[in-house]
Amino acid sequence: MTATPGLRRTSRILLLDPAGRVFLMDTKAPSSDGAHRWITPGGGVDPGESHRDAAIRELREETGIAVTDPGEPVWSWDFAVGWDQADHDRGHAEFYVVRTPGFELSDAGWTDDERVDILASRWWTADELDATNESYEPAELPDLVRRHRD
């Protein structure tokens, strides 16, 4: 199976704590080889929904954190999707920054797919991302964390 031609719009949240760490989730990729990677909370923009509203909804669904205004996007990313089980071949992501003093992760808003696809979660420093052999997306993530941690 190959990705169907099409664009998937997503909103992603750089969730940062006072130490400048970013919260990431280890998630299964839509790939027959079992690949997984660390990504920020976030997900697809529903039809008729703005990137901003999707960021608010996805953050609440995936972490339990409710915000009313994530501010303006701080970065956007256009990318090709190479996963062989993806339902799209291109993506566009808008990134927002939300700061938190810490939180208790809640899976109450997770979809059935998220309950299967989210393997783990943890806080990362930019230096830990630079040093790891684990996969994460986007490749620019350590630089984004450094740029927005203060």
Question: What are the domain boundaries of the chain?
Answer: 7-148
| pLDDT grade for 74, boundaries at 50, 70 and 90 | very high
The one-character DSSP state at 140 is T
Strands 22-28 and 42-44: unpaired
**Per-residue model confidence as pLDDT tens digits over 27-63:** 876 667 777 889 999 999 999 999 999 999 999 999 9
This prediction's pTM: 0.92
Strands 75-80 and 42-44: unpaired
The superfamily (CATH) of domain 7-148 is Nucleoside Triphosphate Pyrophosphohydrolase (3.90.79.10)
